Amino acid sequence: MGRKDGKPRGRMSSYAFFVQTCREEHKKKCPDENVVFAEFTKKCAQKWKEMSAKEKRRFEEMAERDKSRYEKDMANYDPPAGGATGKRKPRKPNLSLKKVMKMMMKRKKMMKMMTSKNQ
Protein backbone atom coordinates (compact mmCIF):
# COMPACT_ATOMS: atom_id res chain seq x y z
CA MET A 1 0.00 0.00 0.00
CA GLY A 2 1.77 3.13 -1.22
CA ARG A 3 1.01 6.80 -1.01
CA LYS A 4 -0.48 9.14 -3.62
CA ASP A 5 2.91 10.19 -4.93
CA GLY A 6 3.93 6.53 -5.32
CA LYS A 7 6.62 6.73 -2.68
CA PRO A 8 6.89 3.47 -0.70
CA ARG A 9 5.58 3.56 2.84
CA GLY A 10 8.25 3.71 5.51
CA ARG A 11 9.67 0.72 7.30
CA MET A 12 8.26 -0.43 10.61
CA SER A 13 10.24 -1.05 13.76
CA SER A 14 10.02 -4.22 15.81
CA TYR A 15 8.03 -2.32 18.44
CA ALA A 16 5.57 -1.10 15.80
CA PHE A 17 5.00 -4.71 14.70
CA PHE A 18 4.45 -5.67 18.33
CA VAL A 19 1.84 -2.94 18.85
CA GLN A 20 0.13 -3.90 15.59
CA THR A 21 -0.04 -7.54 16.73
CA CYS A 22 -1.41 -6.52 20.15
CA ARG A 23 -4.08 -4.43 18.47
CA GLU A 24 -5.14 -7.31 16.20
CA GLU A 25 -5.32 -9.68 19.20
CA HIS A 26 -7.36 -7.15 21.16
CA LYS A 27 -9.78 -6.71 18.24
CA LYS A 28 -10.29 -10.49 18.07
CA LYS A 29 -11.01 -10.69 21.80
CA CYS A 30 -13.20 -7.57 22.04
CA PRO A 31 -14.44 -6.56 18.56
CA ASP A 32 -17.12 -4.16 19.83
CA GLU A 33 -15.03 -2.39 22.44
CA ASN A 34 -13.61 1.05 21.71
CA VAL A 35 -9.95 1.35 22.63
CA VAL A 36 -8.49 4.37 24.41
CA PHE A 37 -5.24 4.85 22.53
CA ALA A 38 -3.21 6.26 25.43
CA GLU A 39 -4.10 3.42 27.78
CA PHE A 40 -3.56 0.79 25.10
CA THR A 41 -0.09 2.06 24.20
CA LYS A 42 0.91 2.27 27.87
CA LYS A 43 -0.05 -1.37 28.35
CA CYS A 44 1.78 -2.38 25.18
CA ALA A 45 4.89 -0.48 26.24
CA GLN A 46 4.83 -2.19 29.63
CA LYS A 47 4.49 -5.62 27.98
CA TRP A 48 7.34 -4.79 25.58
CA LYS A 49 9.64 -3.84 28.46
CA GLU A 50 8.86 -7.07 30.28
CA MET A 51 9.44 -9.29 27.24
CA SER A 52 12.66 -11.27 26.98
CA ALA A 53 15.01 -10.94 24.01
CA LYS A 54 13.86 -14.37 22.84
CA GLU A 55 10.23 -13.23 22.73
CA LYS A 56 11.17 -9.98 20.96
CA ARG A 57 13.15 -11.87 18.31
CA ARG A 58 9.96 -12.68 16.35
CA PHE A 59 9.18 -8.98 15.95
CA GLU A 60 12.81 -8.10 15.19
CA GLU A 61 12.75 -10.60 12.31
CA MET A 62 9.54 -9.02 11.01
CA ALA A 63 11.25 -5.61 11.15
CA GLU A 64 14.29 -6.94 9.28
CA ARG A 65 12.06 -8.33 6.51
CA ASP A 66 10.22 -5.01 6.31
CA LYS A 67 13.52 -3.14 6.16
CA SER A 68 14.65 -5.22 3.18
CA ARG A 69 11.23 -4.66 1.55
CA TYR A 70 11.59 -0.91 2.06
CA GLU A 71 15.14 -0.83 0.68
CA LYS A 72 14.04 -2.82 -2.39
CA ASP A 73 11.06 -0.52 -2.95
CA MET A 74 13.21 2.59 -2.57
CA ALA A 75 15.72 1.22 -5.09
CA ASN A 76 12.86 0.90 -7.61
CA TYR A 77 11.29 4.25 -6.71
CA ASP A 78 11.66 7.14 -9.13
CA PRO A 79 10.64 10.46 -7.56
CA PRO A 80 8.34 12.59 -9.72
CA ALA A 81 10.06 15.28 -11.76
CA GLY A 82 9.68 18.82 -10.47
CA GLY A 83 8.62 17.61 -7.07
CA ALA A 84 9.56 19.06 -3.73
CA THR A 85 13.08 20.43 -3.51
CA GLY A 86 13.36 19.52 0.13
CA LYS A 87 13.35 23.15 1.23
CA ARG A 88 10.83 24.25 3.79
CA LYS A 89 9.10 27.57 3.99
CA PRO A 90 10.79 29.91 6.43
CA ARG A 91 9.00 30.05 9.75
CA LYS A 92 7.16 33.18 10.68
CA PRO A 93 8.40 34.81 13.86
CA ASN A 94 6.41 33.90 16.93
CA LEU A 95 4.35 37.04 17.42
CA SER A 96 2.91 35.86 20.69
CA LEU A 97 6.39 35.83 22.20
CA LYS A 98 6.92 39.42 21.08
CA LYS A 99 3.62 40.45 22.62
CA VAL A 100 4.49 38.79 25.91
CA MET A 101 7.86 40.53 26.03
CA LYS A 102 6.24 43.92 25.35
CA MET A 103 3.71 43.34 28.11
CA MET A 104 6.46 42.38 30.54
CA MET A 105 8.43 45.52 29.71
CA LYS A 106 5.35 47.73 30.17
CA ARG A 107 4.60 46.07 33.50
CA LYS A 108 8.18 46.56 34.61
CA LYS A 109 8.02 50.27 33.73
CA MET A 110 4.71 50.68 35.57
CA MET A 111 6.04 48.90 38.66
CA LYS A 112 9.10 51.12 38.60
CA MET A 113 6.93 54.24 38.33
CA MET A 114 4.66 53.09 41.16
CA THR A 115 7.55 52.34 43.49
CA SER A 116 9.20 55.68 42.74
CA LYS A 117 5.91 57.56 43.52
CA ASN A 118 5.46 55.73 46.83
CA GLN A 119 8.91 56.66 48.06
Rounded to 10°, the helix 53-76/14-29 angle is 110
Domain ranges of the chain: 14-80
Amino acid at 94: N
Written as one string, the DSSP assignment of 26-56 is HHHH-TT----HHHHHHHHHHHHHHS-HHHH
For residue range 9-57, list pLDDT tens digits in order: 899 999 999 999 999 999 999 888 888 889 999 999 999 999 999 999 9
Domain made up of 14-80: CATH architecture: Orthogonal Bundle (1.10)
Instruction: Look up the pTM and report it.
Output: 0.63
For residue range 53-110, list pLDDT tens digits in order: 999 999 999 999 999 999 999 998 888 776 666 678 888 777 687 888 888 999 999 8
